[in-house]
Amino acid sequence: MFFTLSLLFINKSLSYLVEWSFLDLFGVTMECVFYLDWMSLMFMSFVLFISCLILNYSSEYMVEDKFLKRFIFLMVMFVMSMMMMILNLNLISILLGWDGLGLVSYALVVYYQNVKSNSAGMLTALSNRIGDAAIILSVAWMLHYGSFNFMFYISSIGSMNGAGVSIINYVTWLIILAAITKSAQIPFSSWLPAAMAAPTPVSSLVHSSTLVTAGVYFLIRMSETFTSGMESFLLFLSMLTMFMAGLAANLEYDLKKIIALSTLSQLGLMMTILSLGDSDLAYMHLLIHALFKALLFMCAGAIIHNLGDVQDIRMMGGLVNYLPLTCACMNISNFALCGLPFMSGFYSKDLIAEVVSMDFSSLLVYFIFYFSIGLTASYSFRLSYFIFWSEAKFMCLSGFSDQNNSQMLKSMFSLVILVVFMGSIYSWVTFSAPYFVFLPSSMKILTLGFIILGVLLGNEISSLEFFYSNFYLNYIKIVLFFVNMWNLPLISTAGLNKHVLLVGKLMYNTFDHGWLEYYGSKGLFSVVEKFMLEVQSVFVNNHLKLIFLLFTIYLSGVLIFIGWSVF
């Protein structure tokens, strides 16, 4: 229904604003604003469609879970928070949805309640709280305008004076900070693979259309306020994120973490084209990526479910003989991820690559961008090779097949159709005129060439001999550096806390148990104690002399009194 409405809004160029003011205090209006345009309606249709399929998928995947109702309730709350985020233009209302995503994601990441889940949940929550603080600061800056409806001020930014423009720039910088924390760009990338401690349906929802895409969607809405400095900053971070995630995914063995790193790479791709000023292409890839990434996680969940919770791809192999339908769905989603013609990902990814080629700004940016595209094809081929095409490396005493996953297959097949056709459908119904891209033939096929090179690289990395070669062993420290995402997880946890805690311990020992203790309570007590001991020693050691002295004084007084009375 919402998708049909979005097509109607595109055709008629419609947009509706529903505004409800519930408080007016000292010139500041508190209101709830719902903005209905083709962008919000289409994104909402994708979120609701994917959420329904994932809930149907969860009914079989989580069938043995004792708290299935609680899990479903948390998932529904998660989707409702995303709806609040999509439909609102008011920063206060957006903050409610933004905080709701963060809090519910924490509850879902720690769902299994073990040490790994608790650590991942804490890292996720604290990383996202940085973005929440940035949103709160942007709300404070918006008090200058007397309203929190940022869209009204974006449309009139050309008529503002210097002070008004500077304030909207401050707000935009804070929103960029919030978006890169929510979308896990460098240096806040470490929480995204750690969040794989959550159940697989949660990962499918989080990485496709909800939590990590909220930051990109918010930046698309705010893209008209970007300055050249903001775009350069965002381009630098997004390119580094693409490159870092692609390298780490090619050396990772955890199935869910590989897919999580591919999400990180695609988020970097969206941020890259957004920083180059093309928000429509970023939005297109956002929607298409949601489809094939949800399908990819569903297929991974079906494999993990059948193998008894095994996630190491080295323990798999030959699954094409046991799970042919799941294999077909996963390979289709991998083809879409690589941008293979003419899958849905091709219509957005290839167009993004051509637009980047036209907007040639730096040779380094150009090289990193195309090399990252090749890395995407490399880890996709490596993943399929290890899981499906290599020889079986597991021992199964009871057979398993796709027939055991009937409910999960229904959800996967519903997505496969859109993964194949949605790219062309979206291009036809949303772009009134085709993109004008003028490039020589050699540059037009450059993307396809890097995809082929990436497949060859993935084939080389997939061979086990590579991991026992002299190159791998001689440069093991460099390899581990890339596997650990440039040590970002270490920096985000122990790297930030270790030295602060050591300084705190030193200050505690120096001051609380040192100088303050010596000159404070303990020193004062020792002085009083010494004085009391001196007084006590005087009275205890000389008590006999004092008794005789007092008795003599008392007796002398009595005798004087008697003599005075007689005489």
Q: Average the pLDDT over 112-116 and give the result.
A: 84
Residues 422, 291 share a domain:
yes
Confidence band (pLDDT; 50, 70, 90) for 543? Answer: low
Q: Who has greater pLDDT, 221 or 161?
A: 221
Residues 530, 413 share a domain:
no
**Nearest of 408, 294, 409, 414 to residue 59 by alpha carbon:** 408
Confidence band (pLDDT; 50, 70, 90) for 538? Answer: low
Instruction: Copy the structure tokens of residue 387.
Output: 């899981």
Q: How far apart are CA 182 and CA 243, in angstroms?
A: 19
Confidence band (pLDDT; 50, 70, 90) for 105? Answer: confident
Instruction: Copy the structure tokens of residue 545.
Output: 């002399």
**φ and ψ at residue 527, rounded to 5 degrees:** -65, -45
Residues 361, 505 share a domain:
no
Asked which of 317-326, 451-460, 544-553 is least confident by mean pLDDT, the reply is: 544-553
DSSP string, 203-241: HHHHHHTSHHHHHHHHHHHTGGG--HHHHHHHHHHHHHH
Q: Average the pLDDT over 353-367 and give the result.
A: 81
Q: How far apart are CA 284 and CA 288, in angstroms?
A: 6
Q: Kindly tell me if the per-residue pLDDT of 185 is higher than 70.
A: yes
Domain of residue 510, residue span: 496-566
Task: State what percent of residues in the chain have pLDDT above 90.
Answer: 4
Q: Kindly tell me if the per-residue pLDDT of 314 is higher than 70.
A: yes
Residues 423, 562 share a domain:
no
**Nearest of 450, 477, 523, 464 to residue 242 by alpha carbon:** 450
Instruction: Copy the structure tokens of residue 518.
Output: 């010596």
Residues 164, 190 share a domain:
yes
Residues 476, 514 share a domain:
no
Residues 432, 523 share a domain:
no
Residues 512, 478 share a domain:
no
Q: How far apart are CA 168 and CA 161, in angstroms?
A: 11
Query: At how many degrees (to 10) do helices 2-12 and 406-430 cross?
Result: 0
Residues 250, 206 share a domain:
yes
Tell me, letter by letter, the H, E, C secondary structure of 109-148: HCCCCCHHHHHHHHHHHHHHHHHHHHHHHHHHHHHHHCCC
CB-based burial label for 440 (10 Å; 0-12, 13-18, 19+): exposed
Give the pLDDT of residue 521: 66
Q: How many CA atoms lie within 13 A of 535 on its CB side?
A: 6
Q: Kindly tell me if the per-residue pLDDT of 31 is higher than 80.
A: no
Q: Kindly tell me if the per-residue pLDDT of 357 is higher than 60.
A: yes
Q: What is the length of the chain?
A: 567
Residues 226, 201 share a domain:
yes
Residues 223, 200 share a domain:
yes
Q: Kindly tell me if the per-residue pLDDT of 201 is higher than 80.
A: yes
Q: Kindly tell me if the per-residue pLDDT of 409 is higher than 70.
A: yes
Q: Which of 488, 505, 528 is the last residue of a domain?
A: 488
Q: Average the pLDDT over 389-400 and give the result.
A: 66
* Number of domains forming the structure of the chain: 2
Q: Yes or no: say if 112 and 163 are a contact pair by the CB < 8 Å rule.
A: no
Give the pLDDT of residue 164: 59
Look up the pTM and report it: 0.84
Q: Kindly tell me if the per-residue pLDDT of 499 is higher than 80.
A: no
DSSP SS3 for 51 = helix
Give the pLDDT of residue 151: 72
Asked which of 195-209, 242-256, 537-551 is least confident by mean pLDDT, the reply is: 537-551
Residues 506, 472 share a domain:
no
Q: Which of 438, 463, 488 is the last residue of a domain?
A: 488
Q: Which of 488, 504, 530 is the last residue of a domain?
A: 488
Confidence band (pLDDT; 50, 70, 90) for 29? Answer: low
